[in-house]
Amino acid sequence: MLGPVPRLDILNETIRNVYYHVPIWFAMLFMMAVSLYYSIKTLSSGAIELDEKARNAAAVGLFLCVPGMITGSLWARFTWNTWWTFQDPKLSGVAIGVLIYIAYFILRSSVDDELKRARLSAVYNIFAFVMLNVFIMVLPRLTDSLHPGNGGNPAFATYDLNSNMRMVFYPAVIGWILFSFWLFDIRNRLSALKRFTDE
């Protein structure tokens, strides 16, 4: 039987949000990596179907940003006493990363030629993935941050994730990644169906 969550100052019962907030972001990063993979494959092959898969994976990843930001904002409200703060480099990085991926979809909609759109989008998507990781994984670790895992704050240590919690946390990560892949598969099927009906 699983024991209680650790009793931590400030976090208290909100530590249970780690079962949602962090796995959702893992799934989002997984989908963005899948999108990157298909963008690289698009550049090497020029196949429009692969570009559609890159777009679909990025769309699922961007969709997962919404519950990721909502759960993070709720958590911030109870632990930092604010819904959002641009003074935290990780939160600012998330906002910039989301805008970069929104620009990816704007770029896609501004080019009519399919092959040109596929190539431009693939190049931009590689840039977007690198910048997303710089803004949410690299820069926050180089500065002070309220966010766990950055600026000397612990994360994934016994302080905030004990053995009992790990038994729920890691299956939650796997579950959210599988859920994201299921959404990706549905989008791919819809894209194939649309191509079939357009022919």
61 pLDDT band, cuts 50/70/90, is: very high
Predicted model pTM: 0.85
What are the boundaries of each domain within the chain?
12-181
| 84 alpha-carbon distance from chain centroid | 18
**Does residue 190 register a pLDDT over 70?**
yes
Q: What's the whole-number average pLDDT of the chain?
A: 84
What is the tens place of the pLDDT at every residue in 74-113? 887 877 788 888 778 888 889 999 999 999 999 999 999 9
The answer to whether the CB of 50 falls within 8 A of the CB of 119 is no
Q: Of 189, 45, 57, 37, which is closest to residue 115 (Cα–Cα)?
A: 45
Q: Of 148, 157, 172, which is closest to residue 24 (Cα–Cα)?
A: 172
What is the tens place of the pLDDT at every residue in 125-154? 999 999 999 998 888 777 776 666 555 444
